[in-house]
Amino acid sequence: MSLPISQTRVAILGGGPCGLYAARVLSRAGIAVTVLDKGARPGGLATSHQRGNNWYDMGCHMLHEFDNEIYQDMMALMGDESIPVQLDAKIRWAGSFYRYPLQFQDMIRGIPPATLIHNCLGLFAAQIRSSLVPWTPKNAEEALIMLYGHPLYEFFFKDFTHRYWGIHPSQLSATFITTKMPRLSAVDVIKRALGKIGIKDRSVKAVDSALLDETLHYSRTGAEAMPRHIAKAVTAAGGQIIQNAEVTQLIHNPDTGRVTHVQYHHEGADHTLACDECISTIPIPHLLLRASPPPPDPVLTAASEIRYKPIAIYGLLVKKTKCIDGLYIYYRDRAFHRVGEPKNAGLIVNPPDHTVLIVETTCEIGDPKWNATPDAKDQIFADLELENICHRDDIVETHILHSETGYPLFSLGFEPHLDQLKSWIASISNLQSVGRQGGFTYPNMHSAMRMGAKAADAALKRLTAA
């Protein structure tokens, strides 16, 4: 017996910020849109999860104001559920706290003079080298040395990068630096000074990081309020959002080069949705593996080369009114790389004399951190004690949140594989793969939403031209 087929004009795969915002743009334009999302609630990585009496983010998620149009739209949708918060982040480095983004004056104050001079000389040498003999770094290690010099690479980046990604920087692509690694504004100051005496900066460019005086937006229930409001607006405009709907097949017609249907699993049954356009925000290799008929073997082989770094987030309810000074602190040499305290951004915590800590770790699926083994927890709790954040006896609840695809992993040589996947997708005229997972890139929420808006505009243009 064949399954009943429902219809939509645009099928959106994945209901994170990118997919939801694409649905927002399309539903506002009166297009019938259906979002299929395998999560229990909208928002993807950027939602919060209710455990016990509290909300826990998958890593503290705060909205930046950089995209004014999206920001204004979000403020209008969220109304008084949005709380403006001054960025207050720190980096724990060599026994001191530094403001994030790292400032030149803090660096001068905090680092022992001999180390500072050594690092500055290294940076100076790196600048002269790339100024005289421009070179193309072969991997992330070379790109970091080119950007910061050998001593600063050894002092600040090498071990941290290795521990964070689980692979040595020499095995990471140089693209990682230009796409993910935030620029050190302190180093920019030195580079500008060198520029004034004629030593040009010809190194690769890292990413602009957050601004020191930036205002972020949060809510009393954490990250979940924003996707909840977008989803509500989409449904109010006639769109459909189906949660707990895992996309299992992307059915396309090789003769016409078009997606015709999407199959998904929902409430114990398989369903089929016919569509005119498809915007996918699910991990790009997963999309290829679900294509029917399957792409050619070399494309499937390329898909198996595209990997993500999983994350395990430890959400802790702590019997203390406050644990850290600020919104979050980055750590270089602990079992975690960032600890956030969302209560300091307005999260309501129950009971009120307790607080919530969001402890972020990268891991592998099934390893001790992923499984939260007693040893892994012990290491995390011991490091929290060493950093005077809280004592293990104060931790009254521990909730583990996972994402198998937390970070795109830019391992050495991934680029041609990704290009192969993207060319196959480009061969299907009504299919787009965008967002953090679908584009295999590192947007913040506002940039992911902008990607969704652009994909929606492209689909809209084709639909109205047809």
285 binds ligand FAD (CB under 6 A): no
By CB under 6 A, name the one of 169, 435, 450, 460 that touches ligand FAD. Answer: 435
By CB under 6 A, name the one of 10, 11, 46, 275 that touches ligand FAD. Answer: 46
Site for ligand FAD in 357-386 (CB under 6 A): 360
> Count residues contacting ligand FAD (CB under 6 A)?
36
Contact 115, 109 (CB under 8 A): no
Nearest to 275 by CA among 37, 41, 36: 36
- CA 328 – CA 338 distance, rounded (Å): 7
Contact 251, 271 (CB under 8 A): no
44 binds ligand FAD (CB under 6 A): yes
Q: Which residues pair with 49 in a beta bridge?
A: 56
326 binds ligand FAD (CB under 6 A): no
- CA 410 – CA 32 distance, rounded (Å): 36
Nearer to ligand FAD, 146 or 282 (CB): 282
Q: Which residues pair with 96 in a beta bridge?
A: 93
Is the link from the previous residue into 374 a cis peptide, with omega within 30 of 0?
no
436 binds ligand FAD (CB under 6 A): yes
Return the range that interacts with ligand FAD (CB under 6 A); candidates 33-41, 123-131, 348-356, 362-370: 33-41
Is the link from the previous residue into 134 a cis peptide, with omega within 30 of 0?
no
394 binds ligand FAD (CB under 6 A): no
227 binds ligand FAD (CB under 6 A): no
Count the Cβ atoms, other than its own, within 10 Å of residue 110. Answer: 16
61 binds ligand FAD (CB under 6 A): yes
- Residue entry with tokens 């600020």: 326
Nearer to ligand FAD, 89 or 111 (CB): 89
By CB under 6 A, name the one of 33, 400, 445, 459 that touches ligand FAD. Answer: 445
Site for ligand FAD in 240-259 (CB under 6 A): 246-247
By CB under 6 A, name the one of 34, 55, 59, 185 that touches ligand FAD. Answer: 59
- CA 193 – CA 195 distance, rounded (Å): 5
By CB under 6 A, name the one of 437, 440, 453, 456 that touches ligand FAD. Answer: 437
Question: Are β-strands 215-218 and 96-100 bridged in parallel, bridged antiparallel, or unpaired?
Answer: unpaired
Site for ligand FAD in 65-94 (CB under 6 A): none
Contact 329, 338 (CB under 8 A): yes
Return the range that interacts with ligand FAD (CB under 6 A); candidates 15-23, 188-196, 266-274, 384-392: 15-23
By CB under 6 A, name the one of 10, 11, 12, 14 that touches ligand FAD. Answer: 14
- CA 243 – CA 232 distance, rounded (Å): 13
By CB under 6 A, name the one of 34, 119, 344, 444 that touches ligand FAD. Answer: 444
Read out DSSP for 2-20? Answer: PPPEEE-SEEEE--SHHHH
Count each helix (H run) and each strand (E run) in the chain, helices first. Answer: 17, 21
By CB under 6 A, name the one of 12, 33, 37, 381 that touches ligand FAD. Answer: 37
Nearer to ligand FAD, 39 or 151 (CB): 39
Radius of gyration of the chain (CA): 23
The contact set with ligand FAD (CB under 6 A) reads: 13-19, 36-39, 44-46, 59-64, 246-247, 281-282, 286, 311, 360, 406, 435-437, 443-446, 448
